[in-house]
Amino acid sequence: AIDIGLLNSEEAVKDADIVILATSVNKIIDTAKKIIPLMKRNAILTDVGSTKKYIVEQISHNLRKDITFVGAHPIAGSEKRGVEFASADLFEGCTCIITPIGNHTNEVETISHLWRLLGAKIKYLTPEQHDEILAFVSHLPHLVASGLINVIKEEYLVCGASGLRDTTRVASGDPELWVDIFCQNRENVIKSIDRFIAELGGFRNDLLNKNDAKILDRLKNAKLSRDSVFHNNSTNK
């Protein structure tokens, strides 16, 4: 999981061709500011942050001209964190989003190649596109999982089985890490919440109006959409 650990930032990055910022999103900017002056010329700085627009803007503002920043976000992981939970095949088959800015074709390809070597599939997006999409496919699901646990009485939870466990697994993630993700992507997360509230409202109205056919349509549409993506990859990361 780890070959060597260093506490001294200068020793860690001074000879590195590629430096990866793998902290929580609220520490990425400050960490970048500390290590950018220590990096060698023509090195590449990249990250694995779950938000992109704010991070890319701030790092670009503080970047040296002889260093290139290439934003990246591998869509993989679990609710557990730390070296003891490392997995050698964590990125095998996952999607890694690259958010290139400027004209740095060689550096972007270097980072893309790095992720391909780890088994990831590459998708290129702007930072804005990344944050809009991730609000729906990652940030909203975490909020929904947490909200669902919060509305279920504690004495009811013991009656839950695999369906509840699967639906709410991500609610076991680090709360401090996730609040920073939500706040950095605030506007997009709010939009995704509004869309979800509207969908819940549709289910509620159909139940009130005893519109069973419409409820069935909603359930069928959801099944069709999910199965088209995950049917042959139940362990999709």
- Give me the pLDDT at residue 235, please: 46
Of the candidates 74, 71, 86, the residue with the CA atom closest to the CA atom of residue 32: 71
Domain 130-230: give its CATH superfamily.
6-phosphogluconate dehydrogenase C-terminal like domain (1.10.3660.10)
What's the chain's Rg over C-alpha atoms?
Answer: 21
Angle at 77 between CA 99 and CA 111, to 5 degrees: 30
Alpha carbon 119 to its chain centroid, in Å, reads 17
Burial class (CB in 10 A: 0-12, 13-18, 19+), 44: buried
Of 125, 155, 140, nearest in space to 186 by CA: 140
Please report, for the chain, the start and end positions of each structural domain, with discontinuous segments joined by +. Answer: 9-125, 130-230
Low-confidence stretches of the chain (pLDDT beneath 70) = 1-2, 78-81, 232-237
Cα–Cα distance for residue pair 56/29, rounded to 1 Å: 9
Copy the structure tokens of residue 38. 């220590």
Tens of pLDDT, residue by residue over 132-145, are 999 999 999 999 99
pLDDT score for 88: 83
DSSP three-state, residue 97: strand
pLDDT for 1: 54
| pLDDT at res. 232 | 62
pLDDT at 3: 74
Instruction: Tell me how many degrees the CA angle 135-178-158 measures, rounded to the nearest 5.
Output: 100
Domain topology for 9-125: Rossmann fold (3.40.50)
pTM over 0.85: yes
93-115: pLDDT as tens digits: 999 999 999 889 999 999 999 99
